[in-house]
């Protein structure tokens, strides 16, 4: 199976073709072409997947080196691909969900003046993401890492004529840079200590790392991961990133790119296994992020912001799993989350589409009447994320929590409690969203009401998707989205419902995913005995049910004033973003000014000084170029004498 390179090459081909011919292909054409490319890539991935399945368990890795990319001294990097269970799993849902979202986008972006450009970016994103996942070395992964970052930036600020969208893009970009810095340092460190950046070569060498070095590497990579995967303290960009078109939010900021950090740490599990307390840091950061984001989610009114904070929170779960060495659980949750979160985002997109691009949930209500398919699929997503069995979210979340309960991590019980709290909050805010959107009265029919009398509008301005300017009017009648949008919803709903089958905890033969990933992952974790697991599961289900009922009580039966729960501190996500802004505007700004001064005076000064010095030197030296042949001849002769003298002295010795 030597067609591994085709997987990223096809979207790349789509990208190149669309760059050149995108406008020619026109409105649906470009989108269909892009979707076909990703679909073909998916088929290719399936082929590789089937091939891997046919191989014996231990040999399930295809590495393919195309050519040498950089060769500088002992530093040698190839463009090469590594298709092993981990990367192919990632590829499957990147290309699978990617293809669905491409199809969805054909409907969603219909009539946009930059229609073909959108698919240019999307294809480039898929290609970069596949490169990130398939690359057989850190540098190639970094290339993909930066590629997805760039595409994310381009897509967040896709409607850049609105300064808010543009600044959201910049925010995402800058925040990610901080993380990339960690990635780069970590890569350098790996190169210096191990002498290679190739994963397959790192794997046998990693156990030889000193504990301190491994910890440093792991922490630096984790810094990179916090940027890309929106963890504390760098999560602030993701909620703002919802400014981009909804398919983008679904594909990039829910399903694929944000999981890159999880993928990276999983891929580097050989190093993480040596990293000691860095794992504790990962786990705690993940847990705290999950909690902080879940709290924020309950107070958001923007339908997509709820999902965005939810994403942050779910990613926190994944890191919690990574930190407790339950990589399989992390990947499992990554897969299930990818399907149900994509589903939720696309569903919300469908809602937004139906509601004339109004994103404020306070103006929704009773939409189940108008959007039956969206409603039905959204229900599946809701129950899945809330952790109701037998839907997928339950199984993966349960496995994480079970893993945490039994982990050797510092304060594992506290982590478990936090995890349970987050599960509760998740069920709560999702139920809140579902009720506000699909149940109750049709609130948009009341002109400009603020049903709950909130003083603060929770940044609703920021997230308003007003790329076309027809606003929601009281006489608006929502209508179901076209087939190209509902079809992906149905498919994803199916996936979200059954994805749990991948790794059922009822017995070893049913843990398909675990066996599948076994050859790739280093790290041992022990699940608690069966009866404990059963108890834990029961507890989780109970917590989820409590959350759902609580939300029902507050928002459906209106027993409690929502304002008591939706505290401003939650709405502002604990004021973390504001603190950053304050710092950056105050002491930060002066520091930046100084840095800018330094750059201008010293760095630029050095560059300009060298240039100026060269010019000056040249002006002085040009006198040597007399144009007189005899002077040149004399120079040559003197040089010849010097050479001769050297040779003669050598002869003597």
Partner 1 sequence: MFTLTETWYLVLAALIFSIGAVGLLVRRNVLVMFMCVELMLNAVNLTFVSFSTALDDLGGQTAVFFVLVVAAAEVVVGLGIIVAIMRRRQSADVDDISLMRG
Partner 2 sequence: MRVEMFTFLLAGAICLGGALGVVLLKNPVHNALSLVATLFGVAVLFVNQGAYFLAAIQVIVYAGAIVILFLFVIMLLGVDRETDEGREPLVAQRPLAVATGLAILGLSLVALLSAGQRATGDKADLAPLNQPGPDINHLAEVLFTRYVYAFEITAVLLTVAVVGAVVLSKRTNEPLIDLDEFPEGTVVDVRRRADDAKAQDEVDADAEVVAVPDTEGDPQEGGDD
| Contact call for residues 331 and 440 (beta carbons, < 8 A) | no
CB of 650 to partner 2, least distance (A): 10
- 212 vs 635, which CB is nearer to partner 2? 635
- 564 vs 630, which CB is nearer to partner 2? 630
**Which among partner 1, partner 2, none contacts residue 624 (Cβ within 5 to 8 A by kind)?**
partner 1
What is the CA angle 255-107-169, rounded to 5?
Answer: 50
3-state SS class at 418:
helix
| Contact call for residues 422 and 373 (beta carbons, < 8 A) | no
Q: Which stretch binds partner 2 (CB under 8 A): 46-54, 113-121, 159-167, 645-653?
A: 645-653
Q: Does 629 bind partner 2 (CB under 8 A)?
A: no
Q: Does 615 bind partner 1 (CB under 8 A)?
A: no
Cα 273 to Cα 134, 184, 218, 414: the distances in Å are 22, 20, 9, 22
Contacts of 279 (CB under 8 A, 6+ apart): 218, 272, 322, 323, 324, 325, 409
- 192 vs 648, which CB is nearer to partner 2? 648
Q: Does 625 bind partner 1 (CB under 8 A)?
A: yes
CB of 645 to partner 2, least distance (A): 6
- 501 vs 640, which CB is nearer to partner 2? 640
Q: Does 630 bind partner 2 (CB under 8 A)?
A: yes
Distance (Å, whole) CA 175 – CA 177: 5
**Which among partner 2, partner 1, none contacts residue 651 (Cβ within 5 to 8 A by kind)?**
partner 2
Q: Which stretch binds partner 1 (CB under 8 A): 40-48, 56-64, 359-367, 617-625?
A: 617-625
| Contact call for residues 517 and 354 (beta carbons, < 8 A) | no
| Contact call for residues 382 and 434 (beta carbons, < 8 A) | yes
Task: Mark 626-645 with x for binding to partner 1 (rule: CB under 8 A) and - for no binding.
Answer: xxxxx--xx--x--------
**Which among partner 1, partner 2, none contacts residue 596 (Cβ within 5 to 8 A by kind)?**
none
Cα 105 to its chain centre, rounded Å, is: 19
> Any idea how long the chain is?
653
**Which among partner 1, partner 2, none contacts residue 192 (Cβ within 5 to 8 A by kind)?**
none
Please report how the helices 277-297 and 211-228 are oriented relative to each other, as an axis angle in degrees rounded to 10: 20
What does DSSP say about strands 75-83 and 62-72: parallel, antiparallel, or unpaired? antiparallel
Q: Which two tokens stand for residue 132?
A: 């990130």
| Contact call for residues 93 and 335 (beta carbons, < 8 A) | yes
Task: Mark 213-252 with x for binding to partner 2 (rule: CB under 8 A) and - for no binding.
Answer: ----------------------------------------
| Contact call for residues 272 and 612 (beta carbons, < 8 A) | no
Q: Does 621 bind partner 2 (CB under 8 A)?
A: no
Q: Does 614 bind partner 1 (CB under 8 A)?
A: no
Among 192, 447, 624, 648, binds partner 2 (CB under 8 A): 648
CB of 617 to partner 2, least distance (A): 17
Q: Does 637 bind partner 2 (CB under 8 A)?
A: yes
DSSP H stretches of helix in 260-371: 260-267, 269-272, 277-297, 303-323, 327-354
**Which among partner 1, partner 2, none contacts residue 208 (Cβ within 5 to 8 A by kind)?**
none
| Contact call for residues 88 and 44 (beta carbons, < 8 A) | no
Q: Which stretch binds partner 2 (CB under 8 A): 45-53, 62-70, 467-475, 632-640?
A: 632-640
609 sits in the region (left: phi over 0; alpha: psi -120 to 50; else beta) called: alpha
Q: Does 651 bind partner 1 (CB under 8 A)?
A: no
Spell 602-627 as b/e; 16+ CB within 10 A means b: eeeeeeeeeeeeeeeeeeeeeeeeee
- 414 vs 638, which CB is nearer to partner 2? 638
- 212 vs 633, which CB is nearer to partner 1? 633
Sites of contact with partner 1 (CB under 8 A): 621-630, 633-634, 637
Residues that bind partner 2 (CB under 8 A): 628, 630-631, 634, 637-638, 640-641, 644-645, 647-648, 651-652
């Amino acid at each position: 199976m030597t067609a591994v390179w085709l997987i990223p090459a096809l979207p790349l081909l789509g990208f190149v073709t669309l760059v050149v011919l995108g406008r020619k292909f026109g409105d649906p054409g470009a989108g269909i072409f892009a979707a076909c490319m990703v679909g073909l890539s998916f088929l290719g991935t399936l082929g590789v997947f089937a091939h891997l399945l046919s191989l014996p368990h231990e040999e399930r890795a295809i590495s393919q080196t195309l050519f040498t990319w950089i060769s500088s001294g002992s530093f040698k990097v190839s463009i090469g691909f590594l298709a092993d269970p981990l990367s192919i799993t990632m590829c499957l849902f990147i290309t699978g969900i990617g293809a669905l979202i491409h199809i969805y986008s054909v409907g969603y972006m219909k009539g946009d003046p930059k229609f073909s450009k959108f698919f240019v970016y999307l294809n480039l994103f898929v290609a970069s993401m596949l490169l990130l996942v398939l690359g057989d070395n850190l540098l190639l992964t970094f290339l993909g890492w930066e590629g997805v970052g760039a595409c994310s930036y381009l897509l967040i600020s896709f409607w850049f004529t609105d300064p808010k969208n543009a600044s959201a893009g910049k925010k995402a970009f800058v925040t990610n840079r901080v993380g990339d810095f960690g990635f780069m340092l970590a890569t350098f460190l790996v190169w210096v200590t191990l002498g290679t950046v190739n994963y397959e070569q790192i794997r046998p060498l990693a156990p030889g790392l000193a504990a301190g070095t491994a910890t440093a590497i792991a922490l630096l990579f984790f810094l990179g991961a916090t940027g890309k995967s929106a963890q504390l303290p760098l999560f602030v960009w993701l909620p703002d990133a919802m400014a981009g078109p909804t398919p983008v939010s679904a594909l990039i900021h829910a399903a694929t790119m944000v999981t890159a950090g999880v993928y990276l740490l999983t891929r580097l599990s050989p190093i993480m296994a040596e990293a000691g307390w860095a794992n504790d840091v990962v786990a705690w950061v993940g847990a705290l992020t999950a909690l902080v984001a879940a709290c924020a989610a309950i107070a958001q009114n923007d339908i997509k912001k709820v999902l965005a904070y939810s994403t942050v929170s779910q990613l926190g779960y994944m890191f919690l799993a990574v930190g407790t060495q339950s990589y399989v659980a992390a990947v499992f949750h990554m897969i299930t989350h990818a399907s149900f979160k994509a589903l939720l985002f696309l569903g919300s997109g469908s809602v937004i589409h139906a509601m004339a691009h109004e994103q404020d949930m306070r103006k929704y209500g009773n939409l189940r009447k108008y959007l039956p398919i969206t409603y039905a699929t959204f229900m599946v997503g809701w129950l899945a994320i809330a952790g109701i069995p037998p839907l997928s979210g339950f199984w993966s979340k349960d496995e994480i929590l079970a893993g945490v309960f039994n982990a050797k991590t510092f304060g594992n019980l506290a982590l478990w409690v936090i995890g349970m709290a987050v599960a509760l909050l998740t069920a709560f805010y999702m139920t809140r969203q579902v009720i506000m959107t699909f149940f109750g009265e049709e609130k948009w029919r009341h002109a400009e009401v603020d049903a709950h009398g909130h003083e603060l509008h929770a940044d609703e301005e920021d997230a308003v998707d007003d790329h076309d300017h027809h606003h929601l009017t009281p006489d608006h009648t929502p209508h179901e989205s076209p087939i190209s949008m509902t079809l992906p919803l149905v498919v994803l709903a199916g996936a979200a419902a059954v994805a749990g089958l991948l790794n059922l905890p009822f017995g070893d033969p049913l843990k398909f995913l675990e066996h599948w990933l076994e050859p790739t992952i280093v790290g041992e974790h022990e699940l608690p005995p069966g009866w404990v697991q059963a108890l834990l599961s029961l507890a989780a289900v109970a917590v989820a049910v409590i959350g759902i009922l609580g939300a029902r009580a507050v928002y459906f039966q209106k027993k409690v004033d929502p304002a008591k729960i939706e505290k401003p501190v939650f709405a502002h996500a604990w004021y973390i973003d504001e603190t950053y802004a304050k710092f950056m505007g105050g002491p930060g700004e002066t520091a930046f000014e100084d840095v800018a001064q330094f750059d201008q005076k010293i760095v630029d000064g050095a560059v300009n000084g060298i240039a100026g010095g060269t010019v000056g030197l040249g002006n002085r030296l040009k006198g040597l170029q007399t144009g007189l042949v005899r002077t040149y001849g004399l120079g040559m002769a003197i040089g010849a004498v010097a050479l001769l003298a050297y040779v003669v002295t050598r002869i003597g010795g």
